[in-house]
Chain A
Amino acid sequence: MYSFDYHRPDSLDSARSLFAQAEDPMYLSGGMTLIPSMKQRLAAPSDLIDLSGLAELQGVERLDGDGKIRIGALTCHNDVANSALVLEQLPVLAQVAGAIGDNQVRNRGTLGGSIANSDPAADWPAALVGLQATIHTQDRQIAVEDFFRDLFETALAAEDIVVAVDFAIPRRATYQKFRHPASGYAVVGVLIAEHDNGIRVGVTGAGPCAFRACALEDALNNSFTEEALDAVDVPDVGFNSDIHASAEYRSHLVKVLSKRAVAQLRSES
């Protein structure tokens, strides 16, 4: 790891001004992605600005007005998976968080770090897409449709800090993941949610970043059955192809996991 200067500000404002003054800074949350990348010299910031002291980024709460669940960016995956509020009001979030990596990673890695990084195989992005999330930064709100742009690319500017994410509470939802057996990352992950305004299907792992599978949504809005998905074509154009899985196989997985999700939800009701 190259050398760098380390800062641990105690407010959003001082984090932002440290960022503005440094030559080539990066923010640090759980470090589960950034520290390994720095060891491999894939990242070499001049300054690391550790966000872990920011109280503004903590907490899990239910919002009064629109009844959404707000999760602070610094909340680690295990704190989401074990949150009594989440388990009661939006258990699918615990399902997603509990499926990430391994226990040690879930004790450090955070929601904010995961979505800012936007790894194509990360789990959280499928949940944001399926649960109509809104991403809050220090000074603006971004709808999830505008947030995930491309491979490791989001609507965030370098100096932006993810503060919290709001998730809509659907009538029912489930997450199905084909887990890479070694890394734990999603080869493909599909989150299906039934909201008052229709079905949402959030897909991760398949493309360069998470996306809505609109054709699958249309089919399920017509008929919420596994058979309805048979007729839908999931083109693999632009899908990821690597040593783990071909684009064609990933497209197949999108459908298989969607069917499993539908079967799961139908069996619960």
Chain B
Amino acid sequence: MNVAITVNGQVQNVEVAANTLLVNVLREQLGLTGTHVGCDTSQCGACTVHLDGRAVKSCSVLAVQAQGAQVVTIEGIGSTDDLHPMQAAFQDCHGLQCGFCTPGMIMQAIDLVTDAQSQSKPLDSDAIRHGLEGNICRCTGYQNIVAAVAKGAAELSSKAKGA
């Protein structure tokens, strides 16, 4: 089947079987290997991307379900020279060790901030922990991840206010 998916702002026409997962299109057909597969059983969140603006586990979405949709991956939010504020916060707070879970953590963290902003909900450490329930990290013990998300959130909201 042919599907058209807008990935990081560019329309991609890809030929897929009905049982191809979105994560496999991203990694294998489009070479966007920043999105990781940790479990392939919907538990770990390493494969988190934004589908029409919302965080989803791309190992549990069929590519055909994303026909016509907007997908944003970790490659789409910033670059090595121009980090997204959430990426910079993970770096500053030492929010990663091996880095395998990090792309998923960052994509989920951005969703969390967007959500909190749009509903004017506070994003305290409990809310951050609740929001990261679908993301597993084998290295850090989460403490610095929570600190990084809090810092990234503060920067994003001061940016939003400044804009």
Contacts and interface: CB of A to CB of B under 8 A. Distances in A.
A101 interface: yes
Q: Which of A1, A3, A32, A104 has the most CB of B within 10 A?
A: A104
Interface in A119-171: none
B73 interface: no
A108 B56 contact: yes
A36 B56 contact: no
Q: Which of B43, B60, B62 has the most CB of A within 10 A?
A: B60
Contact of A108 (B45, B61, B111): B61
A82 interface: yes
B151 interface: no
Interface residues of B, number: 30
Contacts of B61: 31, 35, 108
A82 B55 contact: no
B110 to A, nearest CB: 12
B18 interface: yes
A5 interface: yes
B62 A103 contact: no
B19 interface: yes
B62 A102 contact: no
8 contacts: A31-B65, A32-B42, A35-B42, A35-B60, A101-B134, A102-B45, A103-B133, A105-B42
Interface string B42-68: 110100100100111100111011010
Contact of A103 (B40, B41, B55, B60): B55
